[in-house]
Structure 1
Amino acid sequence: MRIARFSLDGNVAFGVVEGDELEIIKGHPFADFERSGHKLPLGAEQVRLLSPVLPNKVVAIGRNYAEHARELGNTVPDVPVVFFKPSTSVAGPGDPVVYPGFSSEVHHEAELAVVIGRMCKDVPRERARDVILGYTCANDVTARDAQRAESQWARAKGFDTSCPLGPWIETELDPADLAVQCTVNGEQRQLGRTSEMVRPVEDLIVHITEAMTLLPGDVVLTGTPAGVGPLHPGDEVAVTIEGIGTLTNKVVNRG
């Protein structure tokens, strides 16, 4: 099932996407809900897709693809590198990515995002899939120069609009071996598979929940394959993940 969060004439709701239609649901996807029978064309002018969730926190994993670690001159860490992106970094499909004024080297990072479906802590590996609502596309937009200059990555990876998510949540998906692609202005920059992750989704859930409670709607970013590169104002960047869809955003100058 594909679940989208959208705005209809200024009112925010959730819906089930089937083909080119969006059926409004009664309730929200983190509990039992009913399908209303009220369907809208997905491309209708009054329908605007939003980020599929507004997370309390985005927990991100760095250097989880060996080739990406190497392309930036890093080794694969013995334990996962964990960092946060604030809720204010989240953007939706079609939203602009605003180039931050403190950087002159902003990069794209296409990633599989995991959407948590229930409150969880100390999750055993065999139960990891049980706490997941589904998966979506993410772009871990990074101010690379700031990342190199600052020992903490809060500004480099946490600036406003640095975490586009979307276009919807796919709930019926095996994340073990999916193609992850990024294009900029139609040119392929990244192409990898989730099977190349150093640590799979289940291990990441275990590692994170050893330390903290994850809440419904929280998002886990699972790392990016090799091929990261620069973005400039005017660029259109698209992240496509097999079985989910495509998340597209345009880079703009700070107004």
Structure 2
Amino acid sequence: MTNQPNEEKEKTEARPSEEELKKKNETVHALQQLGQINVPQLETNVFCLNIIGQIEGHLVMPPQNKTTKYEHVIPQIIAVEQNPKIEGMIVVLNTVGGDVEAGLAIAEMIATMSKPTVSVVLGGGHSIGVPIAVAADTSFIAETATMTIHPVRLTGLVIGVPQTFEYLEKMQDRVVRFVAEHSDISEEKFRELMFRTGELARDIGTNVIGRDAVEYGLIDKVGGISDALAELNTRIEARKKGALLQ
């Protein structure tokens, strides 16, 4: 004679609960994505926006490319602007550039935020990454980080008519104007760096490193994450005091 209820009870107890399954899945996900199980978590008033790899715009990049999709970034920026718990945003850049219009859209959204923003270029902030870097209230660049400034170009099938070149020229003007308005570099100096010959192999443009970017007026300060966070916290406190005075 078998004790059927006891067997069913043991089977039920052996099954993991939904909460245990959820924790297990989170652990596996963290291990796959970050290579570690314990992910640092902290309630913070600062949001970190990463601009990593290639900025993907209207065309989907190949799966082997590391990309930042602008349709993912835009809702994040809107959420930061609306969330009362988030008081400031730090933008971390290590990008090779990408879609010009997508990059400009991200830069324009950062520039028009009411909350304090600080950017820091680590590794590289090339091409359309330049407007994103200067869009923040204060911009930083690491000593070893670089920024490549070059003209706008098209890839793929191009119709060789005057209208195509006019379109490229207008798009380039938008980039130059935006950078000049949100940094201390002049339009003339930025164009000079953009069209400089002899510095980049097989291309025209300029590769600006660390302190050079600050000397040109492109970036505000040389510094890293701690400097950027200190500046952001200072701006957050100033904004709070301004609100109290009003």
State the TM bucket, normalised to the shorter chain.
Answer: under 0.3
> Which TM-score applies when normalising by structure 1?
0.26
* Higher Rg of the two aligned structures: 2
| TM-score, structure 2 normalization | 0.26
Higher RCO by CA contacts (8 Å cutoff, separation 6 or greater): 1
User: Whose strand fraction is larger, Structure 1's or Structure 2's?
Assistant: 1
